[in-house]
Structure 1
Amino acid sequence: MATIAVVGLSPNPERTSHRVTAYMQQHGYRIVPINPVAAGEEILGERVYASVAEAQAARPDLEIDTVNVFRRSVDTDRPIADAIAARDGGVRTVWLQLGIVNRDGLRAAREAGLRAIEDRCLMVEHRRLVSTDQVR
């Protein structure tokens, strides 16, 4: 099962981060909520961590595949750096959601060997791939 760390996941079901993440969870992805304000609580039935590093330290068995970021563009340097630092723990992709861009940060991620995606919605892309049988 692929695991997605969701930076900026809101506990509010009306927020886009919550809806997109709930969709991915319903489609079989393991979710690791990352939200320093809600750390220690639960969102979507999963314990919330303050950072990707904290999640990996608390759960060494957890292999995070993708770091999906729901933060303003100006607030993405830290999550991108965390994804780069976590690549030895399995992180292969850093994904900035629709409307979120950080060209320099994603260049650094690519140079570190990560796949780097920006300004795309994970749910929209998943639906597109499912409809073409490219992913299940």
Structure 2
Amino acid sequence: MVENPSLEELGAILKKAKRIAVVGLSNNPERTSYQIAKAMQEAGYEIIPVNPTIDEVLGVKAVKSLKEINGHVDIVDIFRRSEHLPDLAREFIEIDADVFWAQQGIVNEEAYHFLKEHGRTVVMDLCIKVIHALTR
């Protein structure tokens, strides 16, 4: 069973965070990932697009994988299908990011338990933009 941090804890995470790597970020303005990343960028977060199929989005050069990111990542925000989460969880541990955040509708218990065993903060099935609006 996946258990998310409390709303208060999520608010603290978002207040502390500066850099968000967005896995599966689309360069199509119609897509939810684009709209949410744009809103978070406008709220003052540095957005790092992680998508091997695009060159850039929101004025930022995209990287092919989490491992290509230079510097520390506070939140890895994921817009990929649930079956991709275990591989992303392993990559997340390799880059030593702080918070693994799977967007609304995305849950994978294997990835959740793997990350918890590594002492990581995990959020699943919640929209980062909605939580940001609720905790400002």
Interval containing the TM-score (normalised by the shorter chain): 0.7 to 0.9
The equivalent of 2:38 in structure 1 is 22
- Where in structure 1 do 4 or more consecutive aligned residues deviate above 2 Å? none
The equivalent of 1:46 in structure 2 is 60
Amino acid paired to 1:102: N
1:82 equivalent in alignment to 2:91:
yes
**Residues 1-136 of structure 1 aligned to structure 2 (within 5 Å):** 2-38=18-54, 41-55=55-69, 59=70, 62-87=71-96, 91-130=97-136
Corresponding residue pairs, total: 120
Deviates more, 1:25-34 or 1:110-119: 110-119
Superposition deviation, residue 111 in structure 1: 1.4
Counterpart secondary structure, 1:25: helix
Q: Deviations over 1:68-121 (max 9, x none)?
A: 10001112222221111111xxx1100000000011101111211210010000
The alignment's TM-score, normalised by the length of structure 1, stands at 0.85
Superposition deviation, residue 66 in structure 1: 0.8
Q: Which structure 2 residue ranges, 5 or more long, are not aligned?
A: 1-16
Q: Deviations over 1:29-72 (max 9, x none)?
A: 0011000111xx111011100001012xxx3xx22111110001
Superposition deviation, residue 22 in structure 1: 0.4
Counterpart secondary structure, 2:130: helix
- Greater RCO, 1 or 2 (C-alpha within 8 Å, sep 6+): 2
RMSD: 1.0
